[in-house]
Structure 1
Amino acid sequence: MSNYQIGQAIYDLRIQMNISQSELAKGICSQSFISRIEKGEISPSAELLYSLSKKLGVDINYYFKNNLNPRFDYQLSFCKQVRDYVQKADYEPVRELIKIESKNPYFNNEEMKQFIIWHQGICAYHIDGDLYGAILYLKKAFNLLGGNKKKLNGCQLEIAISIANIYNEEKCYKEAIYYYNLAINRLNEIKGFIDNKILIRALYNYSKLLYRMDRDKEAVENSSTAIQLCLELESNYLLGNLLYQNGLSLEKLGEIKSALHKIEDAYSIFRIQNNYPFASHVKRKINNLKTKVTL
């Protein structure tokens, strides 16, 4: 159910009861917050929706009565909000959402518990700088549904990538390589049955790690595999980043002309995407490579 539909339902009930937004909000939230909910600008948490429902004299499921699977719809909405914030590297709202929804009875199944614990780990690392606590959360989430390497689900594979990314940031390369390989090998096995962006992201981050370790041939192989997957899917997801990373590795291998072509392709994509700050950075790299080619 959309934010607009929930907001419209609350507005209709409020008008039927002949109460103002301020009267509805009293003891629950601000009047302006009610206004934004009714306009469909924001999605109320389950806790807030429950409080509003009691005041409006309806059960919380009233809002979803025309939806075939309201619980699943609500879970999807929550997960999407969390993922959107993580993608923007905006972790404080993630922590707030998790705090509100962690006691929600809608989220008492193992899959949702896994999702919440996973993002508690991400917040512990990015907000608190707590490496030890973050890894404990992430490994708990990873093992929640069993750690059978041959049966890892999509969420577990994304958690494995999160663990690898943190180890990569902390320069714990041996541990990072273990989790990248675990995820990539399984993702290759189930490539047609899962969002391939997960595999592209894993290959990109793994190629960056290999580049840092001066394992440049492997870095080129992994980034090339991801580039080919983007082309097959007709997707620009991380394509500019992959082309740039591929070019950097080729440069270290001494293949300057090939590196230049890849990085020029990356520049074109960043320009199309209006990513001007990074495009400027890449343009400087192009000029540097052109100097090397003419020497």
Structure 2
Amino acid sequence: MSLETVSFGEILSDLRAFKKVSVEELATEICSIEELIEYEKGKKYPTLDQLYEIADRLNVEVSYFINYASSSTFNYVTAVFQLIKKYKRERDYEAIYEIIDRERENPLFKQISSQQFMLWHEGICKYYLHNNLTESVQLLYRAIDLTNPDRNNLSEHEIEILTSLAIIKFEESDFIAATNIFEDALDNLDSLPHILDPKVKLRILYGLSQTLSGRDLYNESLKYSNLGINYCINNELLYLFGEFYYQSGENYIKIDEIEKGIEYINKAKEVFILQNDEKFAKLVSLELDKLLEKC
């Protein structure tokens, strides 16, 4: 068998046999036996976190699989990015930082686009994990500068990085800076001929709405939260749908349109219930009570 044609499944099967580890032993607490058999037959591939556990149990580095498997059977860089995105959704910044640190010298990540992705998420971790605002901002700008040192006519990917910077400014209650960055991100996004991921625009609209509300500019905030609601409806998306309804409801209450505010916040609650998010549904009810107490 030549190295050019060897598959990930064959590598896994041969290594497991060489290490004298049974299918049952290797699968325990990692995946089902049926899944492991599918991995070895090349019918399915493990997630990256599963791959780390498999490699650890077989006492090899993850790179063992990558060095011998053809790129057509297992795209390691893509798998790493998917795992980082998963941890970002879960706000597990420690897990993200461990991956970045582990792969820092990996030659597979030497392409500019890969370096940019890793710098971007290292910048996020520096803020949320290490509370280092200065280094976080520097890393995020460095990530953008890798592909666009002039910071003009940003690509969608560069806009995502800029949005992360705006969110961090919002977290710092630097609402004016956050507003300016969000507006810059939105202007750049609206100038693109196509948007590949509509969630990018939703994150910007939501950030602008939150930031303007933080500045007590409720009517301006309302403009963006209602734009977000319409964008979700037009694109058939539930992403941030409940949050936009809540933000609009809060804004309406703040400008003394109480009944309309209650209506929108109740719609937010309905959306969270539809998404089986009981925690947020209860939180919305509590926040509504607090808002009405202040009226």
Q: TM-score normalised to the size of structure 2?
A: 0.81
> Relative to structure 1, is the Cα distance of residues 19 and 169 closer, same or farther in structure 2, using a 3 angstrom cutoff?
closer
Match of 1:180 in 2: 182
Q: Note the alpha carbon deviations across 1:53-90, whole angstroms, 9 max, x for none.
A: 5xxxxxx45423654xx5xx322211111011111111
- What is the SS of the residue equivalent to 1:180? helix
Aligned equivalents of 2:261 and 2:52: distance in 1? 49
Q: 2:91 aligns with which of 85, 89, 92?
A: 89
Q: Of Structure 1 and Structure 2, which has the larger fraction of its residues in helix?
A: 1
**Contact kept? 2:156, 2:195, Cα under 8 Å:** no
- What is the SS of the residue equivalent to 2:231? helix
Greater shift in the superposed pair: 128-137 or 171-180: 171-180
**Contact kept? 2:167, 2:178, Cα under 8 Å:** yes
- Does the alignment pair 1:117 with 2:119? yes
Match of 1:12 in 2: 13
Aligned equivalents of 1:168 and 1:99: distance in 2? 27
Aligned equivalents of 2:192 and 2:235: distance in 1? 16
Q: TM-score normalised to the size of structure 1?
A: 0.81
5 Å matches for 1:132-143? 132-143=134-145
Aligned equivalents of 1:34 and 1:62: distance in 2? 25
Q: Note the alpha carbon deviations across 1:188-216, whole angstroms, 9 max, x for none.
A: 22273320101101111111110010011
Aligned equivalents of 2:245 and 2:71: distance in 1? 48
**Contact kept? 2:175, 2:214, Cα under 8 Å:** no
Aligned equivalents of 1:125 and 1:66: distance in 2? 36
Match of 2:261 in 1: 259
Match of 1:27 in 2: none
Q: 1:76 aligns with which of 51, 75, 78?
A: 78
**Contact kept? 2:269, 2:281, Cα under 8 Å:** yes
> Relative to structure 1, is the Cα distance of residues 96 and 9 closer, same or farther in structure 2, using a 3 angstrom cutoff?
farther
Given residue 19 of structure 1, which amino acid in structure 2 is its aligned partner?
A: K
Aligned equivalents of 2:119 and 2:162: distance in 1? 13
**Contact kept? 1:115, 1:155, Cα under 8 Å:** no
Long gaps (5+) in structure 1: 23-30, 54-59
- Does the alignment pair 1:44 with 2:45? no
**Contact kept? 1:149, 1:182, Cα under 8 Å:** no
Aligned equivalents of 2:292 and 2:166: distance in 1? 35
5 Å matches for 1:91-240? 91-190=93-192, 192-240=194-242
Q: Note the alpha carbon deviations across 1:207-231, whole angstroms, 9 max, x for none.
A: 1110010011110001111111100
Q: Note the alpha carbon deviations across 1:150-199, whole angstroms, 9 max, x for none.
A: 43122211111111111111122222122111111111222733201011
- What is the SS of the residue equivalent to 1:274? coil
**Contact kept? 2:245, 2:264, Cα under 8 Å:** yes
Aligned equivalents of 1:287 and 1:18: distance in 2? 64
Cα RMSD after superposing both structures: 2.9
Given residue 13 of structure 2, which amino acid in structure 1 is its aligned partner?
A: D
> Relative to structure 1, is the Cα distance of residues 195 and 270 closer, same or farther in structure 2, using a 3 angstrom cutoff?
same
Long gaps (5+) in structure 2: 1-6, 37-45
Q: Kindly, what percent of the aligned residue pairs are identical?
A: 27
> Relative to structure 1, is the Cα distance of residues 148 and 232 closer, same or farther in structure 2, using a 3 angstrom cutoff?
farther
Q: Give the count of matched residue pairs.
A: 268
Aligned equivalents of 1:97 and 1:149: distance in 2? 28
> Relative to structure 1, is the Cα distance of residues 83 and 66 closer, same or farther in structure 2, using a 3 angstrom cutoff?
closer
**Contact kept? 1:230, 1:237, Cα under 8 Å:** yes
